[in-house]
Chains A and B, each alone.
Chain A
């Protein structure tokens, strides 16, 4: 035997180490005796307990200010107050001379950011009202009704602005930083990179009243109207897109000639009020709204899922008490987030977003809500030490008036349930 043949044999043998042992099966004659069996069951008793807790986030803490006017369903209005700090007198001489001269207010420019709107809205009007400065978190819709009735300071047809031609000349772009659209009343619209609409209103001194003793503290409210789908959201302090007011004024220089100046002041407080008011928490499972409510749902994993099954799909079934009233076309998102430990209202939420169940809720629709929670239920079936509870909450809490309510375990016929599809444990070892 030659050395070459020995090497050839070894190469052949080692080369054959690559395995290909899997072949399409011809069942049942040439397949193992076991079967992969799928079972599909709705467990109505897996959810043992549930509770609703309110006031997680107030309206003034939301990342948006919903403004809607749907007669008979919802009337939501944004309100905001601007910090004053525009002194009635300024110095016009170099330091250390502290001699001051009075300012003369000329005008002001209000900037609003529309962060959400329905592009199908027709004839959308945004109306600005002057409010008294004393806004706070306890301000109610009813308290502001008079001001919203007789104190309108300006209004603009946003649909018309959007339809107007863009002004693209270099002089305009240099002043505004981008192209603009404008109307005959001087309203200016810019479209931001993220499709946000930036709306500018020019106010004269009657629209923007500068009271020297208040240093320019003002408050405004915003309503909308439209032929259809009259619903928008304004940016808020929490989203860093709050309304701002820029004051333009003059003061005399040392030769009594007027010097032009300006001072921009952001909102110091913003919130929204709406009617009809949100009903108090009851025996149902409330999620969202303003103030924001959350519902804690406790789950017991049955033994069959722990020992002898592999969950392949799990769907949470929630039956709404009724449709969520609001502007047609509006929606919000409900999220089911697992809790790290069950401490009731103060249960800390898991940051493991893979386990979140997410569902978009459309307003004015009463369909049963189904939230896919496969990964979470699978992990609970495998981990006996895990806290098997989750919190239902609204994504971007307190950014909408909409609150959904589901039947709880206290209503047996419509109680929450889990629709679970699982694979039975395979019968290994049996020919």
Chain B
């Protein structure tokens, strides 16, 4: 692959995400809640069901993993998804693009590595259209309502990691949680002669803070253990300087294990708990697991993964569930200075009142070490 191709690929990824950090709702379950939590995973990690995220320095989940980045490197992730939502007998197709993660890191001393970047914390893009008939002035008036939200809450991360020992790396990060959504609510009246369309627009700003710590410990030369913990404060929603909502953000923790049984095979598994239940209406605590593998040479591996668990928001007393499978490939080029990763993921989510959501996501990632 030539330098021109690398630049084109990078530009393509940037064009994919440049209009907005996140533009399409990942799930219908997040509409009646704070949003849809983002995945802090690179394409490589996501192709393995997320199991490799704790060990992947370009997945903004765990800071300790960047301790092994010995040269300045940048990684970007792009995703395009096609989603089908079945509400009983009705089915709707949706599509959207996202730019869920960006990480730039490099050493600042012989031991310490600094990384900055952003990732989607909560995706808040959606559009809802409903039909109804209301009674006005003694007559039944059919109306169509459209409520749309376009934007996301982004996690801006500054992370510091260091390898304290040959077998131990530690990392810490502070997180600025910020973002905005452009929101509109439109009511169209079928009787447009007498009733004008009502349009309300606003911009909602979001603010919050968080901190995280993590560690990687090599039990043996082939077995690595990861643990992480993260606490986020509150998510404050402001409209024109006035706070309209203040919701708790979760305390999260998780762990993972990676085993390298051979030179061309890696297997990993990860679990994570997030205490979302305090985050307002329709919120639930979640547990998620993942299992994945990477096979083949380091320059062009094949990846497979499976994941499962719960979604943070959804109607009813129990959390919606999610199950997904994924696969992908990677290709190093320019002597290992760059890498393109491709992935394909299929998710199925089920929630109360018989709602099923199926999502196909095409993933494209680029990692460049200038």
A residues with CB within 8 A of B: 1, 3, 6, 9-10, 12-34, 36, 38, 40, 310-313, 372, 374-375, 378, 419, 421-423, 425-431
The reply to whether B31 and A31 contact each other, CB–CB distance below 8 Å, is: yes
Given A6-B9, A20-B93, A21-B24, 8 more A-B residue pairs with CB atoms under 8 Å apart are A1-B331, A21-B23, A21-B126, A22-B126, A30-B32, A33-B281, A431-B33, A431-B281
The reply to whether B244 and A22 contact each other, CB–CB distance below 8 Å, is: no
Would you give the 0/1 interface string for B2-21, flagging 1 where the beta carbon is closer than 8 Å to chain A? 00010011001101100100
In the docked arrangement, what's the CA distance between A335 and B243, Å?
45
A135 to chain B minimum Cβ distance, whole angstroms, is 46
The reply to whether A12 and B32 contact each other, CB–CB distance below 8 Å, is: no
In the docked arrangement, what's the CA distance between A249 and B316, Å?
101
A342 to chain B minimum Cβ distance, whole angstroms, is 26
Interface membership of B92, Cβ < 8 A: yes
Chain B residue contacts of A40, Cβ below 8 A: 136-137
Chain B residue contacts of A17, Cβ below 8 A: 15-16, 19, 80, 97
The reply to whether A426 and B1 contact each other, CB–CB distance below 8 Å, is: no
In the docked arrangement, what's the CA distance between A32 and B204, Å?
14
In the docked arrangement, what's the CA distance between A153 and B220, Å?
127
A6 to chain B minimum Cβ distance, whole angstroms, is 6
Interface membership of B108, Cβ < 8 A: no
The reply to whether B95 and A18 contact each other, CB–CB distance below 8 Å, is: yes
Chain A residue contacts of B209, Cβ below 8 A: none
The reply to whether A312 and B5 contact each other, CB–CB distance below 8 Å, is: no
Chain B residue contacts of A426, Cβ below 8 A: 147, 183, 185, 200, 202
Would you give the 0/1 interface string for B125-160, flagging 1 where the beta carbon is closer than 8 Å to chain A? 111111100101100000001111110000000000
Chain A residue contacts of B131, Cβ below 8 A: 24
Of A18, A23, A313, the residue contacting B195 (CB under 8 A) is A313
Chain B residue contacts of A20, Cβ below 8 A: 93-96
Of A13, A21, A23, A32, the residue contacting B16 (CB under 8 A) is A13
**With A378-B196, A427-B244, A431-B281 in contact, is A19–B183 under 8 Å at CB?**
no
Chain A residue contacts of B280, Cβ below 8 A: 431
Chain B CB count within 10 A is highest, among A6, A18, A27, for A6
Interface membership of B352, Cβ < 8 A: yes
B340 to chain A minimum Cβ distance, whole angstroms, is 7
**With A26-B87, A29-B32, A32-B147 in contact, is A16–B95 under 8 Å at CB?**
yes
Chain B residue contacts of A9, Cβ below 8 A: 340, 342, 364
In the docked arrangement, what's the CA distance between A67 and B82, Å?
73
The reply to whether A431 and B282 contact each other, CB–CB distance below 8 Å, is: yes
Chain A residue contacts of B331, Cβ below 8 A: 1
The reply to whether B147 and A13 contact each other, CB–CB distance below 8 Å, is: no
Of B85, B95, B196, B353, the residue contacting A312 (CB under 8 A) is B196
The reply to whether B185 and A22 contact each other, CB–CB distance below 8 Å, is: no
Of B185, B198, B300, the residue contacting A1 (CB under 8 A) is B300
On chain B, the number of residues with a Cβ less than 8 Å from chain A's Cβ atoms is 81
Task: Provide the main secondary structure of the chain B interface.
Answer: strand
Would you mind naming 24 contact pairs between A and B with Cβ atoms under 8 Å apart? A3-B5, A10-B364, A19-B24, A19-B97, A20-B93, A20-B96, A21-B25, A21-B126, A21-B150, A25-B31, A26-B355, A27-B130, A30-B32, A32-B32, A38-B187, A312-B196, A313-B136, A313-B194, A378-B196, A421-B195, A426-B147, A429-B204, A430-B237, A431-B34
Closest 9 CB pairs of A and B: A22-B127, A16-B80, A25-B128, A29-B315, A426-B185, A1-B331, A429-B244, A423-B198, A429-B237
Interface membership of B189, Cβ < 8 A: yes
Chain A residue contacts of B29, Cβ below 8 A: 30
B22 to chain A minimum Cβ distance, whole angstroms, is 11
B residues with CB within 8 A of A: 1, 5, 8-9, 12-13, 15-16, 19, 23-25, 28-29, 31-34, 78, 80-82, 85, 87, 90, 92-97, 125-131, 134, 136-137, 145-150, 183, 185, 187, 189, 194-200, 202, 204, 237-239, 244-245, 247, 280-282, 300, 315-316, 331, 333, 340, 342, 352-353, 355, 362, 364
**With A22-B148, A428-B183 in contact, is A423–B281 under 8 Å at CB?**
no
The reply to whether B13 and A28 contact each other, CB–CB distance below 8 Å, is: no
Of A21, A312, A427, the residue contacting B189 (CB under 8 A) is A312
**With A31-B128, A374-B196 in contact, is A16–B97 under 8 Å at CB?**
yes
**With A30-B32, A32-B147, A428-B202 in contact, is A19–B95 under 8 Å at CB?**
yes
In the docked arrangement, what's the CA distance between A14 and B259, Å?
36
A60 to chain B minimum Cβ distance, whole angstroms, is 39
**With A1-B331, A25-B129, A428-B239 in contact, is A13–B362 under 8 Å at CB?**
yes
Chain B residue contacts of A430, Cβ below 8 A: 237, 244-245
The reply to whether A429 and B239 contact each other, CB–CB distance below 8 Å, is: yes
Chain A residue contacts of B353, Cβ below 8 A: 26, 29
The reply to whether A30 and B87 contact each other, CB–CB distance below 8 Å, is: yes
The reply to whether A10 and B12 contact each other, CB–CB distance below 8 Å, is: yes
Chain A residue contacts of B342, Cβ below 8 A: 9
Chain B CB count within 10 A is highest, among A32, A33, A34, for A32
B144 to chain A minimum Cβ distance, whole angstroms, is 10
The reply to whether A313 and B196 contact each other, CB–CB distance below 8 Å, is: yes
Chain B residue contacts of A18, Cβ below 8 A: 95
Chain B residue contacts of A31, Cβ below 8 A: 31-32, 128, 130, 147
In the docked arrangement, what's the CA distance between A15 and B13, Å?
12
In the docked arrangement, what's the CA distance between A40 and B31, Å?
29
The reply to whether A431 and B247 contact each other, CB–CB distance below 8 Å, is: yes
In the complex, the chain A residue whose C-beta lies closest to that of B236 is A429
Chain A residue contacts of B127, Cβ below 8 A: 21-23
Chain B residue contacts of A14, Cβ below 8 A: 12, 15-16
In the docked arrangement, what's the CA distance between A38 and B92, Å?
28
**With A26-B355, A428-B185, A431-B32 in contact, is A13–B80 under 8 Å at CB?**
yes
Chain A residue contacts of B149, Cβ below 8 A: 32
In the complex, the chain B residue whose C-beta lies closest to that of A29 is B315
In the docked arrangement, what's the CA distance between A34 and B93, Å?
24
The reply to whether A428 and B204 contact each other, CB–CB distance below 8 Å, is: yes
**With A372-B194, A428-B185, A431-B33 in contact, is A10–B134 under 8 Å at CB?**
no
In the complex, the chain B residue whose C-beta lies closest to that of A22 is B127
B81 to chain A minimum Cβ distance, whole angstroms, is 8
In the complex, the chain A residue whose C-beta lies closest to that of B87 is A26
The reply to whether B244 and A428 contact each other, CB–CB distance below 8 Å, is: yes
In the complex, the chain B residue whose C-beta lies closest to that of A11 is B12
